[in-house]
Amino acid sequence: MNIENIIRDKIAEAIQNLYQHTIDSISVQVAKTKKEFEGDFTVVAFPFLKISKKTPEQTAGEIGEYLIGNIKEISRYNVIKGFLNIVVSNGYWLTFINEINAVTDYGYNKPGKNKKQIVVEYSSPNTNKPLHLGHIRNNLLGWSVAEILKANGKNVVKVNLVNDRGIHICKSMLAWQKWGNGATPQSTGTKGDKLVGDFYVKFDNEYKSEIGNLISKGFSEDDAKKNASLIIATQELLKKWEAGDDEVRDIWKMMNGWVYKGFDETYKKMGVDFDRTYYESDTYQLGKAIVLEGLKKGILQKKDDGSAWIDLTQDGLDEKLLLRADGTSVYMTQDIGTAVQRFNEFNIDKHIYVVGNEQNYHFHALSLVLNKLGYNWSKDLYHLSYGMVELPEGRMKSREGAVVDADDLIDEMILTAREISKELGKLDGVTAEEAEKTYKMIALGALKYFILKVDPKKNMLFDPKESIDFNGNTGPFIQYTYARICSVLRKAKEQNIVVPSSIDTETILNGKEIEILKLIYEFPSVVKEAGKEYSPALIANFVYELTKEYNQFYHDFSILKEENPKIRDFRLILSKTASRVIKSAMGLLGIEVPEKM
């Protein structure tokens, strides 16, 4: 029973009956009343003044009187300068909580008849280094957006594109050949993705050293970079790879195998998954074929050196390279192939790329290139561009090894969660096994919530210590509140108090209880808006507001010690319903909530 729709319909009816004018109820704007005013919902009277030909106060007052006489769920109203503030009756809120108690998936929309799919691509790592803090934001954001879209009734396919070939991969391979001495994850005791990442850093250090030597011999910096023996050897390695050289391919398969195993361990730690994984090594050939076809049709241009380009200057960009002079492909080539493959494979309504904002140009160009190549569905590509993650000490640099490794960060978070929990005595009385499980839950909850509560478009500063705080806008604060509610419900059971499935609609509510009910009421619209905006931050900040309101209620009012059985029962139902919504909202962020803490 959506009270806002009832208000809209009755206001349209009021305009017809009071002023003999027809309006569409959809055009009536109903908003939450600001906290400084009395009311639950506010309607602005100004759009109706041309119809009523009266002052804002008179118009709002007449509409308010009509609503009081025609909507039993409205108890009173007030008018402030043409703003009609409407107060909903206790009976409505009690009927509302009784109704949603019977709904197991409250806040979620059931899948519609539209069988089209939304493809969400996230992670997209390179196989030359382990996942780091930037990847954590990418994975958590992509996974959560996919789950929020599912909650909106969409058919979602979660995909990962592994960038497993190219010049950067060859750098790690060359370094292993030159300085590896046959090292393996087993022989070194190093996780596979970290071992390969170490060789990538080794290459960069040696390459910089060689550039410095060439510059000291009179080379310009540009010439030194181009003529360094290491980069020439890497380019040769890439050509051999694309030519299918057996020895090169064997090394590539071996090293990538190490990395895949490492990635899988990290994904499991983070709690993210995929419906389908693609590999650039499988898709770049299709991209090359499409580019060559574009050359034949004259859509693309071949330069004197044999490289293939597309002119995007008419679109406000520049010329874009699609194939190098030596015939090897670039990122854009494989992205063309992957996009075409997916649109052939799935019945796509929207294709969402979750990629950092440093790639804004790339995805704008990709859409333009595909459109010029005749793929009309290019308009259905959407780049979910998110901001960078920085640490208190500044930005990360992969080539120099100055990154926060994802595994190390998660392990550090678990250690911190353990130390703080023990210090505060949060898990006294539980078994060691339960405690360890809860430490991990707290750590990942802290990490995920801290990252997802920030608007995706914004850059963010990640502070591990600040994220694991049991007070304030943090994951542990919300988790602790959920555990507190579970404790109340357990004590009720121990005292043989049965939480009823419904409550008497004549029960008198206080203002704090109504505030909690209003927030619970908003949950479906928050889920809808988060899906529309592709923003888990809306869910995160909603669940914090609900948790904060509940905590204030918990401190100010008795639940189990309340003498009036009707009020006690209502507060138990309210607590149980709040816990359900908290768990559901946190689940959309990929965060587990412990029952004891």
User: pLDDT tens digits, residue range 341-358?
Assistant: 999 999 999 999 999 999
Which CATH number is 24's domain given?
3.30.1360.70
pLDDT score, position 395: 47
In 435-544 the beta strands, taken as DSSP E runs, fall at: 460-461
- Is 332 within the bounds of a domain? yes
Cβ-Cβ contacts under 8 Å for 485 (sequence gap 6 or more): 550, 575, 576, 578, 579, 582
**Co-location of 84 and 169 in the same domain:** no
Sheet with strand 155-162: strands edge to edge: 276-279, 155-162, 117-121, 348-356, 381-386
Q: Are residues 279 and 381 in the same domain?
A: yes
Report residue 155 as tokens: 């058919």
- Assess whether 132 and 63 both reside in one domain: no
Q: Which contacts of 364-372 are long-range, i.e. CB under 8 A and separated by 24 or more positions?
A: 364/317, 365/312, 365/317, 365/320, 365/332, 366/332, 366/335, 366/336, 366/339, 368/312, 368/315, 368/317, 369/310, 369/312, 369/320, 369/322, 369/332, 369/336, 370/336, 370/339, 370/340, 372/299, 372/310
Band of the pLDDT at 463, cuts 50, 70, 90? confident
Q: Is the pLDDT of residue 460 over 90?
A: yes
Residue range(s) defining the domain that contains residue 279: 122-390
Which residues, in sequence order, are bridge partners of residue 155?
A: 117
Q: Would 398 be classed as within a structural domain?
A: no
Same domain, 201 and 294: yes
379 and 414 share one domain: no
For position 1, what pLDDT does the model report? 59
- 471 vs 491 pLDDT, higher one: 491
Residue 497 three-state SS: coil
Task: Report the chain's C-alpha Rg in angstroms.
Answer: 30
**Residue 499 placed within a domain:** yes
Give yes or no for a contact between 313 and 301, defined as CB atoms under 8 angstroms apart.
no
Q: Which stretches does DSSP call E strand in 98-222?
A: 117-121, 155-162
188-230 pLDDT per residue, tens:
999 999 999 999 999 999 999 999 999 999 999 999 999 999 9
Residue type, 49: L
Band of pLDDT at residue 393, cut at 50, 70 and 90: low
CA angle 546–548–553, rounded 5-degree value: 95
Asked if 371 and 418 sit in the same domain, the reply is no
Whether 436 and 386 map to the same domain: the answer is no
First to last CA, the chain: 36
Number of structural domains (the chain) is 3
Give Cα 465 distance to the centre of its chain. Answer: 22
Q: Is the pLDDT of residue 401 over 50?
A: no
Q: In what order do the strands lie in the sheet with 301-302?
A: 301-302, 308-311, 319-323
Residue 102 lies in a domain: no
Neighbours of 460 (CB within 10 A): 17
Tell me what the pLDDT averaged over the chain comes to.
93
* Of the residues 40, 65, 88, the one at which a domain ends: 88
533 and 564 inside one domain = yes
Report the percent of the chain where pLDDT is more than 70.
Answer: 98
Average of per-residue pLDDT across 372-387: 96
User: Residue 168: which H helix or E strand, with range?
Assistant: helix 167-179
| The pLDDT of residue 391 | 75
Residue 103 lies in a domain: no
Residue 450 has pLDDT above 70, yes or no: yes
Q: The whole model's pTM is what?
A: 0.92
**pLDDT above 90: residue 424:** no
Mean pLDDT, range 547-553, rounded to an integer: 97
Per DSSP, helices labelled H in 380-456 are 406-424, 432-452
- Co-location of 382 and 427 in the same domain: no
3-state secondary structure 136-151: HHHHHHHHHHHHHHHH
Please identify, among 361, 390, 419, the residue that sits at the C-terminal boundary of a domain.
390
Chosen domain end from 390, 415, 444: 390
Q: Are residues 50 and 179 in the same domain?
A: no
User: What single-letter amino acid sits at 63?
Assistant: I
Q: Are residues 375 and 422 in the same domain?
A: no
Q: What are phi and psi of 132, to 5 degrees?
A: -125, -170
Tell whether 395 is covered by a domain.
Answer: no
pLDDT at 358: 94
Phi, psi of 153 (to 5 degrees): 85, 15
Mark whether 82 and 178 lie in a shared domain: no
Distance CA 200, CA 192 (A): 13
pLDDT at 291 over 70: yes
What is the C-alpha separation between 82 and 36, in angstroms, rounded? 16
Domain-located, residue 23: yes
Mapping DSSP to helix (H, G, I), strand (E, B) and coil, where does residue 564 land? coil
Give the CATH number of the domain where residue 248 resides.
Answer: 3.40.50.620
In a domain, 442, yes or no: yes
In this predicted model, what pLDDT tens digit does every residue of 51-100 receive, in sequence order? 999 999 999 999 999 999 999 999 999 999 999 999 999 999 999 999 99
Domain of 503, CATH number, reads: 1.10.730.10
